[in-house]
Amino acid sequence: MKREIKFSLVFRDMWQSAGKYVPTVDQLVRVAPAIIEMGCFARVETNGGGFEQVNLLFGENPNKAVREWTKPFHEAGIQTHMLDRALNGLRMSPVPADVRQLFYKVKKAQGTDITRTFCGLNDVRNIAPSIQYAKEAGMISQCALSITHSPIHTVEYYTKMALELIELGADEICIKDMAGIGRPYSLGQIVKNIKSKYPEIPIQYHSHAGPGFSIASILEVCDAGCDYIDVGMEPLSWGTGHADLLTVQAMLKDAGYIVPEINMEAYMKVRSMVQEFMDDWLGLYISPKNRLMNSLLIAPGLPGGMMGSLMADLEKNLETINKSKQKNNLALMTQDQLLIKLFDEVAYVWPRVGYPPLVTPFSQYVKNLAMMNVMQMEKGKARWSMIADDIWDMLLGKAGRLPGTLAPEIIEKAKAEGREFFTGDPQTNYPDALDKYRKMMNEKQWEVGEDDEELFEYAMHPAQYEAYRSGKAKVEFIADVAKRKAEKANEGQAATSSAPATTAMVLPTTPQVMSVDVNGQSYRVTVAFGDTGNTPATPAATPQAAVTAPASAPASGAGQEVLSPLEGKFFLVKDTSETPLKVGDMVKKGDLLCYVEAMKTYNAVRSEFDGTITAILLTPGDTVGEDDVIMTIQ
């Protein structure tokens, strides 16, 4: 008889790999008892990575969500685990050391047992402090190998990394095959090498189904000694998600392993509830293409968690490209054409930027750089003409050591722009910040929360947290859901109606006003439908008591206009270390003016001329379209 294999349900990642959002806390609490009733899970992934930011985006306190979501599993004796990004904590950009240390104390207090720490560059220097912080907080430190396939990322490379992490104190190792492109035989060899030296170290395998290798990989790693397998379940398994529990259980049982039985009545309950959540609103953010497996994903190696949001990003990028083509009387591009161009450009860009493993945030950086190249070249501009500051930090070594070498053209561009390369410990670039955030919360009369959890949330996600506290995030989210539901209803009626098309329900052609209640405060929200030109897609929220009609945009000041280079959200600063510009400030050509946050990166907007700022036309967090006027300078 073979050994026992245990299962972990990656419930949070199931959703993130399918679309943009995860269920709300009331939905999570509803589904937890049925997951427990299934009786087959030793572990459940409850939070981490994008979970907290997603909660903030739809106006929900992630601290409350984590506490309520982990509680029933604790009571049932099921371990909970979360994903964290080492130097980047729970966000896309690096985090000060004191914020990282508080992170583990907060998550342990909230009920999370295991932290799965990975560095998107596989730089052990970035992971080492997380091992220490997790152990000090009483958590199990599971360290991940970010698996990809390249001439650099060999069996020997990953074996050496795993052994080094164990020697630094890692309690467990995760084989994090985030794109599902790890080759089965090689993955088995990595597990075998680890177990031959440290047989007592638990190994957990995580993979996405997209390219089609995952089932073979699961069998290989189990034969090599793996202890836990991450699984998903219908209706969110396969596609850009994970191998399905039923298939994995049947396969391993046939191979002679001891695997838990599944309460199928409870399975159907969970399946039904997941479908209910999708029908309610979550499905509005899931592209049908994310439900499909696609061997084309082998070449670009993009991870399943990122593919969940990629299709939504592509819609905006395609619209931007086609607007430019329309202006120049060129043939419009289809989404499939853009997707293939993007995949081809990722394959071109990846080796030239040093083969960073394609996992958050560096998968986004490589994809975003490729997408920017495609967009610029489609508009007749040069490749590499727009590189976000966060991407430069990766290229320059500020986020960690790249596995490979940069192409000469990137090095030359850095030198031409006066950028300096960094070879030291990345953490030293980001000084402690908790005292600063504590002071800011005190000035705003905000409570730091139980176990300092609100302090942690503010320091980890400053912009998103402020939008959550102000009510802006919830207002915008509710309005966006309403807009998407109306558009979906309109499409459905147009497709099924036997009446002439002119009698189908027609969406408003002008922005509409709706009322939204946030914590007892009534807001009036402007919602735009369809193509509204320069009208922001995300609504502006104004307290109802203050207005009787939608607020009008500020009048443009005198001088030259500063245009947004792309669609996204406007911010004057990306963190509190920067001082926002204001009307009356003088700027010189090349000075940083503001940022447009798009595809999870902050893209710097710099002045193209000297002068004085005469108007700033947007409020931080507002949605901005490409070529919209951001400010004026005279």
Q: What share of the chain is helix, strand, coil (3-state, %, to 5)?
A: 45, 15, 40
Q: What mean pLDDT comes out for the span 581-588?
A: 93
Task: At 606, list the tokens.
Answer: 């710099």
Amino acid code (one letter) for 420: E
DSSP 174-241: EEEETTS-S-HHHHHHHHHHHHHH-TTS-EEEEE--TTS-HHHHHHHHHHHT--EEEEB-TTS-STTS
pLDDT of 131 over the 80 cut: yes
Nearest C-alpha neighbor of 460 from the set 52, 115, 51, 25:
52
Q: May I ask the CATH class of domain 560-633?
A: mainly beta
DSSP state of 499: S
Indicate the residue type of 462. Answer: P
- pLDDT bin (cut points 50, 70, 90) of residue 334 is confident
- C-alpha–C-alpha distance, residues 75 and 54, integer Å: 26
53 with 65: CB under 8 angstroms? no
Confidence of residue 133 (pLDDT cuts 50, 70, 90): very high
Question: Taking 50 as the threshold, does the pLDDT of residue 373 lie above it?
Answer: yes
Q: Where do the domains of the chain lie?
A: 1-470, 472-546, 560-633
- Selection from 246-250, 304-308, 360-364, 570-574 with the highest mean pLDDT: 246-250
Phi, psi of 111 (to 5 degrees): 115, 15
The strands making up 629-633's β-sheet, listed across from edge to edge, are 560-563, 629-633, 611-616, 586-587
Place of tokens 């395998």: 205
Cα 97 to Cα 82: distance, rounded to the nearest angstrom: 19
Q: What is residue 548's predicted lDDT score, i.e. its pLDDT?
A: 32
- Read off the pLDDT band of 559 (50, 70, 90): confident
**Quick check: 527 pLDDT over 60?**
no
Tokens of 163: 């052994």
At 517, the pLDDT band (50, 70, 90 cuts) reads: low
Which of 219, 239, 243, 211 minimizes the C-alpha distance to 230?
Answer: 243
**Rounded to whole angstroms, what are the CA distances from 199 to 162, 194, 592?**
13, 7, 53
**What confidence score (pLDDT) does residue 526 get?**
53
What region, left, alpha or beta, does residue 445 occupy, with left being phi > 0 and alpha being psi -120 to 50 degrees?
A: left
Complete edge-to-edge strand list for the sheet that includes strand 568-571: 601-606, 592-598, 568-571, 623-624
- The four Cα atoms 579, 585, 586, 592 give a dihedral, to 10 degrees, of 30
CB 236 within 8 A of CB 272: no
Burial code of 160-176, b = ≥16 C-beta within 10 A, e = fewer? ebbbebbebebbbbbbb
Mean pLDDT over each residue of the chain, to the nearest integer: 87
Domains 1-470 and 560-633 share a fold: no
Question: Treating both helix axes as pointing N-terminal to C-terminal, what angle do 62-75 and 453-460 enclose, rounded to 10 degrees?
Answer: 120
- pLDDT tens-digit series, residues 427-467: 999 999 999 999 999 999 999 999 999 999 999 999 889 99
- What average pLDDT score do residues 156-175 get? 98
Comparison of pLDDT for 528 and 338, the residue scoring more: 338
- For 38-52, what is each residue's pLDDT tens digit? 999 999 999 987 788
Rg over alpha carbons for the chain, rounded to the nearest Å, is: 24
Query: CA-CA distance, 135 to 85, in Å (whole number)?
Result: 16
- When mean pLDDT is compared across 61-65, 241-245, 539-543, the lowest value belongs to 539-543
Q: How does DSSP classify residue 563?
A: E
Amino acid symbol at 94: P
* pLDDT class of 307 with cuts at 50, 70, 90: low
Work out the end-to-end distance of the chain between its first and last CA atoms, rounded to an integer number of angstroms. Answer: 80
Can you tell me the mean pLDDT for 143-165? 96
For the stretch 466-485, pLDDT in tens is: 999 999 899 989 999 999 99
Q: Does the domain formed by 1-470 have CATH 3.20.20.70?
A: yes
66's tokens: 């984590």
Cα 446 from chain centroid (whole Å): 27
Q: Is the per-residue pLDDT at 185 higher than 50? A: yes
CB contact at 8 A, 189 and 155: yes
The CA distance from 99 to 460, in Å, is 7
